[in-house]
Amino acid sequence: MLGIAPTRTTNMDHVTTDPAVRSIPAKSATPSSSAVSSSHSLPSSINSSAWQAASEDSVRLWMSELRWYVESDCSNVLHNKAIPQQQQLQHQSILRHQNCLPASPRVSIEMLELNSRKLLADFNAILVSIQSSQLKRVHPLLSALTSCLRGFLQNLHRLLSMQQPVSLPILKSPAEVASFREIEQTLLTLCSNLDAANSELLDVYLYAMSLPAVDARFLVMNGHLPPVDAVLRLLAEAAEAFAAVLDAAELQLLERVVNAVRCKTSGANFTAALRDLLRLAMKSERLSCLVAKAEAVETVLQVCSDRTQRKFWPLALRVLSCVCCVEESIRRFDQSNGLATVSGILGELGNSELVRAEAAGVVAQLTSPYILGKGKDLLGCLTSHAESLVKSLTLLCKEADSHDVFLLASAAIANITFISPASFEYMLKYNTVRALVDACQLSKAASLFAKDQVATVLANMAAYAWCHQSLTRHNAIELLLHFLSESPMGSCRYASSSSSGVKSSACERLQQKAAIALGRLARDASAAQIVVELAGANRLAQLCRRPEERNNSDAVLVAALAALRQIHDSVGSEDLEERDVVQLIRPRLSEAFLACSRLDESYV
C-alpha cells in the first residue's frame, strides 16, 4: 500500500520512538529461520551491515526480528482495548454503573444526563487533540469512545425495558418505534465507520512517522492527513446521532412520568410524579422542552382545572412556572388557554395564600421580558386578562404576610406594566400604588429585590402624565427618595462574598429606577418642587459626585444627571442654591458625565 506495510498497535509512543529500528537504512535481508521466512519477509529497514553484525548471534537477530512478526497479531487481538488511563477508567465506571438499572424514570434520565455529559466531553477531547496536532492520542480516545457508545446503547435498551409499565401507552404510534430504531442503527453504523477511519488514521500516522523526511513529519504534526478529515466528519455525524438517540430515550421516560400524572393513581405516586417533573424541568432548557413535548403542560393544566385535586395545586402550579421558560411550553400553554385557568385560581379568594402565590409565580414567569420574547402570541391573551390579574395581584400584595409572596405578586405586577398602558388604568382603579407604598413600610418588602419591583412599577407609571397625581397623592416621591438613599456599601456590609455582588447589582438597579422615576415626575412643577424641598436634588448630586455611593455605576450617574436637569427645567435655578447642583447642570450632559465618571480615558 505505502511501501512498508504499516502495523497497528495501541501504544504508539513505543512504535514511533524506537531508535533501533529507525536508524537502520532500508535494505532487504534474509531471515535466519526458514520457518519464519516462508510466511514473513524481513522489513526493508534492516540493511546488510546490521545483518552481518547480527548474524554472529542468532538469538539477538531473532529478538530484533520478533517484534515485526508478532506486532500485527497482537494489535488485532488488542483492538478496541486501549491502555486503561484515567479517562478509560471513567468509562468503565460508567458502564458498571449502567448495569445497576434504576426503576424510576427520573433517576434513569439523570443517569443518562450524567453519561451523556461525559461522552460529549470525550467528543470534545478528540476534537481538541486533532486541532492541537496530537494525533497519537486520537487512537485510544476514539477506540474508547466507540466502545462506550455501543455500551450506552446496550444498557439503554435494558433500562427502557425494565421500567415499570403504566396503563396508558408509552409510544403513540409504530412510526415512533421505527424512527428510534433507525436513529439507533445510524449511530451503530457511524461507530463502525469511526473504527475503520481510526485504524486507517493510525496506519498512515505510523507510516508517516517512520519516514526520515522532515516534510512528512510536518504534515503529521499539522494534521494534514487524509483520514483526519474523515474522522472529523464522522465525529460530527456521530455526535448528532447520539443527541437524537438521547432525546428520543429521555422523551420516552418523560412520557412515563406524565402518564403517571394523567392516570392519577395513589396520592404518593401522584405527588412523586409531579415532583419528578419539577426536578427535571429545573435542570436545563433542553429538558424543559422535552417535558413540554411529553404533553406535561396540558396534563398539569388539567390537574389545575380539577377541583378534586386542589391539594395538589401548589405543586402543579410550581411545575408550570418552571416548565414555561421555553417557547414550546409557552405555545402549548397558550393553546390550552392556561392563562384563564391560572387567572381563575389567582382571583378565587377561597384559595389559600400558598396557592395564590404559586399562581402569581406562573404569571410572573410568563410576563417576564425574557419569556415574552419567546411567546409573542401570549401578549394578546395577557392584555385580555390584565384587569383580573391586576385586581388579584394587588389584593395579594395587601394580604401577603411573607416576603416571598409579596415578591412574587409585585414582580408579576411589574412585568405586566411592560405589556400595555391599559394596565395602568386598572392600577389606578384598584389603588395598586397605595398597596405597594404601604407594603414598603413593612418587613415583607424590606429586601432590595422587593423594592426593585416596586421601583419598576413606579417608574413605568411615571412615564404617563395622567398617573402623576396618583403617585404624588400616595407618597410615591418620598418612597423614591428613600430608595435613592440605599447604598451598596450598607446593604452588603454584612453579606457574604457570594451574595454581595448580587445585592450590589440590585442596589444599582434600585437607584437607577428611582432616579428615572423622579426625573419623569419632575416634568410636573409641583412634583419637582416636592423633590427639592425633601433634599432630593442634593441626594442626586451626591450620587453624581461620589462614585462609591452608586457602586461606580455609570447607569445610575446618567439617570441622576437627567433627573437634575429635569428638576432645573421645572423649578429654575433659584431653588437649586447648592453649588454642586449648579455645576452639574450648567455644562452639557456629556461634559458632566465625563467629569463625574470613573472611566479612565487613554489618548495613547
Band of residue 70 on the pLDDT scale cut at 50, 70, 90: low
Give the predicted TM-score (pTM) of the model.
Answer: 0.74
Look at residue 183 and tell me if it is in a domain. yes
Contact 305, 359 (CB under 8 A): no
For residues 194 and 82, the model is more confident at 194
DSSP string, 467-507: GHHHHHHTTHHHHHHHHHT--HHHHTTTS-HHHHHHHHHHH
Q: Final residue of a domain: which of 247, 266, 292?
A: 247
What's at 167, amino acid-wise?
S
CATH of the domain at 581: 1.25.10.10
- Nearest-Å Rg of the Cα atoms of the chain is 36
For residues 225 and 7, the model is more confident at 225
Contact 317, 351 (CB under 8 A): no
pLDDT of the residue at 212: 59
Look at residue 303 and tell me if it is in a domain. no
Please tell me which of 113-122, 126-135, 363-372 the model is most confident about, judged by mean pLDDT.
113-122
pLDDT of the residue at 16: 41
Q: Which residues of 141-178 are buried (b: 16+ CB within 10 A; e: fewer)?
A: bbbbbbbbbbbbbebbeebbeebeebeeebeeeeeeee
For residues 28 and 542, the model is more confident at 542
Residue 559 dihedral angles phi and psi, to the nearest 5°: -65, -40
Q: Which three cell numbers stand for residue 482?
A: 428613600
| Cβ count near 504 (within 10 Å) | 19
**Enclosing domain of residue 218:** 103-163+173-247
Please tell me which of 8-12, 65-69, 171-175, 562-566 the model is most confident about, judged by mean pLDDT.
562-566
Q: Is residue 291 scored above 80 in pLDDT?
A: yes
For residues 18 and 329, the model is more confident at 329
Q: Is residue 221 scored above 60 in pLDDT?
A: no
Look at residue 481 and tell me if it is in a domain. yes
Look at residue 142 and tell me if it is in a domain. yes
pLDDT of the residue at 265: 62
Look at residue 305 and tell me if it is in a domain. no
Q: Is residue 300 scored above 50 in pLDDT?
A: yes
Q: Is residue 23 scored above 50 in pLDDT?
A: no
Look at residue 296 and tell me if it is in a domain. no
Q: In which residue are the cell numbers 492527513 written?
A: 225
Question: How far, CA to CA in Å, does 96 sit from each of 89, 242, 510?
Answer: 11, 20, 53
Q: How many CA atoms lie within 13 A of 178 on its CB side?
A: 3
pLDDT of the residue at 267: 73
Look at residue 52 and tell me if it is in a domain. no
> pLDDT by residue (tens digit) across 384-394?
889 999 999 99
pLDDT of the residue at 263: 83
Question: How far, CA to CA in Å, does 403 sit from each of 17, 43, 399?
Answer: 69, 82, 11
> pLDDT by residue (tens digit) across 473-521?
999 999 999 999 987 655 554 444 556 778 888 999 999 999 999 999 9
Residue 330 CA from chain centroid, whole number: 18
From the list 291, 235, 264, the residue with the least C-alpha distance to 109 is 291
Question: How far, CA to CA in Å, does 539 sit from each of 21, 139, 531?
Answer: 83, 68, 10
From the list 198, 201, 216, the residue with the least C-alpha distance to 79 is 198
Look at residue 286 and tell me if it is in a domain. no
DSSP string, 118-136: HHHHHHHHHHHHHHTT-GG
Contact 141, 285 (CB under 8 A): no
Surface-to-core class of residue 366, CB atoms within 10 Å of its CB (0-12 exposed, 13-18 middle, 19+ buried): buried
Q: Is residue 595 scored above 90 in pLDDT?
A: no
> pLDDT by residue (tens digit) across 402-453?
999 999 999 999 999 988 778 999 999 999 999 999 999 988 998 999 999 9
> pLDDT by residue (tens digit) across 76-127?
455 444 444 444 444 444 444 444 545 688 888 998 999 899 999 999 999 8
DSSP state of 546: -
What's at 165, amino acid-wise?
P
CATH of the domain at 179: 1.20.120
Cα–Cα distance, 344 to 362 (Å, whole number): 13
Q: What does the angle CA 8 – CA 12 – CA 15 come to, to the nearest 5 degrees?
A: 80
Proportion of the chain above pLDDT 90, given as a percent: 40
| Cβ count near 205 (within 10 Å) | 22
Q: Is residue 588 scored above 90 in pLDDT?
A: no
Q: Final residue of a domain: which of 247, 262, 283?
A: 247
Q: Which three cell numbers stand for residue 112?
A: 443518562
Q: Which three cell numbers stand for residue 366?
A: 410568563
Q: Which three cell numbers stand for residue 1?
A: 500500500
Which residues does 516 contact at the CB level (< 8 Å), separation at least 6? 459, 462, 559, 562, 563
Contact 374, 330 (CB under 8 A): yes
Intra-chain end-to-end CA distance of the chain, in Å: 62
How many structural domains are present in the chain?
Answer: 2
Q: Is residue 166 scored above 60 in pLDDT?
A: no
For residues 224 and 411, the model is more confident at 411
